[in-house]
A = this chain, B = another copy of it.
Amino acid sequence: MYNYPKSLEALINSFSLLPGVGKKTAERFAFSVLNQFSTSEVEEFIYNLDALKNLHQCPNCGCLTDDDLCPICKDPNRNKRLVMVVEQVKDVFVLEKLNEYQGIYHVLNGAIEFSKGINISDLNIDSLLEKAKNKEVDEIILATNATLEGETTAKYLKELLNDYPEVKVSRIAYGLPVGSDLAYADQMTLLKALEGRRNY
């Protein structure tokens, strides 16, 4: 019994490190690179993987950039006194797609997860507290996920920010997702939607 040539087997192994990619899919990917990709497409693929090493987090907000500061922090039209706190870099791009928010971001690089030993001290919060201390911000919007971890992180941050009462701290709203059916909502969401009701 003979197996794939070593170089093909190695590429299959690399592909199977990707999330949700098993052996079969990795084989399919490797064969598609071998058969369907042009030489220039493979070269670009290699170049793009290699170029990732130039990506780093913006020292001001923690967002991804290949420059000294990220374009959001550089933009003179962005309100630097309004900071939205998110868990992951990816969240920034999701929010940017709304084309609505005009402040800047602050990426925590995770959320408190005691079961995994991730504590508040493991998160990127120092520069945020520094900004609050130096009165560089008017409002901090806590936009961590609506999960146990995200909620815990938001609570901890709120407590830490209590030292700077001149900074307004807000939390994004809980409630029914738009287009959803009341009958199918889970109890926790319904409770939070009732709690967060507004004058109409």
A96 contacts chain B at the CB level, 8 A cutoff: yes
A37 to chain B, nearest CB (A): 7
* Complex Cα–Cα for A49 and B45 (A): 8
Determine if B52 and A96 form an interchain contact, defined as CB atoms under 8 angstroms apart.
no
Determine if B42 and A5 form an interchain contact, defined as CB atoms under 8 angstroms apart.
no
* Complex Cα–Cα for A13 and B41 (A): 10
Size category of the A interface is 35 or more
A33 contacts chain B at the CB level, 8 A cutoff: yes
28 A/B residue pairs, CB under 8 Å, sorted by A: A1-B96, A1-B97, A2-B71, A2-B75, A3-B96, A5-B55, A5-B64, A5-B65, A7-B52, A7-B55, A8-B64, A10-B47, A10-B51, A11-B48, A11-B49, A13-B48, A17-B36, A18-B29, A18-B33, A19-B29, A19-B36, A20-B28, A31-B89, A33-B49, A33-B52, A34-B52, A45-B49, A46-B50
CB contact list, A56-75 vs B, under 8 A: 64-66, 70-72, 75
Number of copies: 2
A26 to chain B, nearest CB (A): 10
A99 contacts chain B at the CB level, 8 A cutoff: yes
| Chain A interface residues toward B at CB < 8 A | 1-8, 10-11, 13-14, 17-20, 25, 27-29, 31-34, 36-37, 39, 41-42, 44-55, 64-66, 70-72, 75, 89-90, 93, 96-99
Question: Which chain B positions have C-beta within 8 A of A42?
Answer: 49-50, 52-53
